[in-house]
Structure 1
């Protein structure tokens, strides 16, 4: 009888362990909202020149999208970590690059666009600036990324405009 109880206990523990390991904490539709950006990409500028290469992959059990950017000349690199914060209901990005730039963004997907913005910065002239990056999924499967500076809510400068085409 003891052997049967021990066997049943081991079987129950194994089943419980398997159930816990198959649970996906980040498999909700909200967590998948930025999946259209996943993949290996060649990025071009509006004039057709190559801007660089980007690899977007899921890590940490699918809870984080990691971006690995390399500019066309290979000298400029950067990494971002993107995740859905279930506590706030927003997507967040932390960008870090080899020049020391740090950018923190947050926002959400609306339709075919992921729109993330920085916190407001008050400028010397008392105007308010926000950095906004918009990723737009196009019908052809390409993704357009526009990084702009808004001043008092109006686009004042485009810092980057790139078209992502999947590598084959």
Structure 2
């Protein structure tokens, strides 16, 4: 419990300091190291048998990565399920995961770091019974935009040797692009309604651009400035998803954007977004509106 209290206090203090600098609390690159895990997945064992389904999403203004796991098989009439909360602890400069499940189990992987395209988290050397102390470790390998390997290991000799406890290959569910794009649009609405213009700019690719009859904006800095000026309208933003289609390695999406500003005036445009994969995430390559 003391570790958790320290974690939460550290996060709060860091958030206050960053807010004073007019930045989102979790806008630094370290917080994005585990974003390759975000998405909806099916997980398979080395023998090809499906182990379960997992949904990984951002929450709390992109400060925390939420894992929601459900096993495929039943054991003693129970379908195993659990959730984990993953976050970069800026005060301690390390990643931490807190796991809870429907058997009443709690596991704290509070010693984590990112290196060479993989995330490694592990527990302290903890007492299992009167004769056994054990460290649990998980390594997440970013194999490709659509595959992640999760390798679980245990050590009973304080890290000298390791034994595999599980080995899963996560395969991204990519058959329903509408679901993925809907999730992005809802997150963009939320960012606008909270005045988070930097967050809105983060949904665009490195080479992203915004175009219209009278507008041509290229690059992250220019797009950030664009959203900063647009958010000055205030009010609320609503996006509709009228059509989504995957074409080769891109997703094309058409919809309607309505900003109801702080005076109650509606600003309505039609738009087309072209999404591409960048660092494992779908990003906007072109935002065209009229």
**Structure 1 unmatched ranges of 5 or more:** 1-18
In 1, distance between residues paired with 2:140 and 2:161? 16
The answer to whether residue 167 in structure 2 is matched with residue 161 in structure 1 is yes
Indicate the SS of the match to 1:31: helix
Give me the TM-score of the superposition, normalised by structure 2. Answer: 0.48
The alpha-carbon distance between structure 1 residues 98 and 134, as it changes in their structure 2 partners (threshold 3 A), is: same
- Number of matched residues? 148
The answer to whether residue 53 in structure 2 is matched with residue 49 in structure 1 is no
Residues 13-69 of structure 1 show CA distances to partners (whole Å, capped at 9, x for unaligned) of xxxxxx98x832112111001111110001000100000000000000000000000
Residues 120-148 of structure 1 show CA distances to partners (whole Å, capped at 9, x for unaligned) of 125645x7521001101114641100111
C-alpha contact (below 8 Å) 2:36/2:145 kept by paired residues: no
Higher fraction of helix? 2
Residues 69-115 of structure 1 show CA distances to partners (whole Å, capped at 9, x for unaligned) of 01013711100000000000010000000011110012100111100
Aligned to 2:150: 145
In 2, distance between residues paired with 1:139 and 1:55? 17
Give me the TM-score of the superposition, normalised by structure 1. Answer: 0.81
Large movers: runs of 4+ above 6 Å? none
C-alpha contact (below 8 Å) 1:148/1:155 kept by paired residues: no
The answer to whether residue 107 in structure 2 is matched with residue 103 in structure 1 is yes
RCO higher in structure (CA 8 A, sep ≥6): 1
Q: 1:1-168 residue pairs with structure 2 within 5 A?
A: 23-73=23-73, 75-105=79-109, 106-122=111-127, 124-125=130-131, 128-139=133-144, 141-152=146-157, 153-168=159-174
Indicate the SS of the match to 2:36: helix
Q: CA deviation at 1:160?
A: 1.5
In 1, distance between residues paired with 2:146 and 2:24? 27
In 1, distance between residues paired with 2:119 and 2:146? 15
C-alpha contact (below 8 Å) 1:129/1:151 kept by paired residues: yes
In 1, distance between residues paired with 2:116 and 2:98? 23
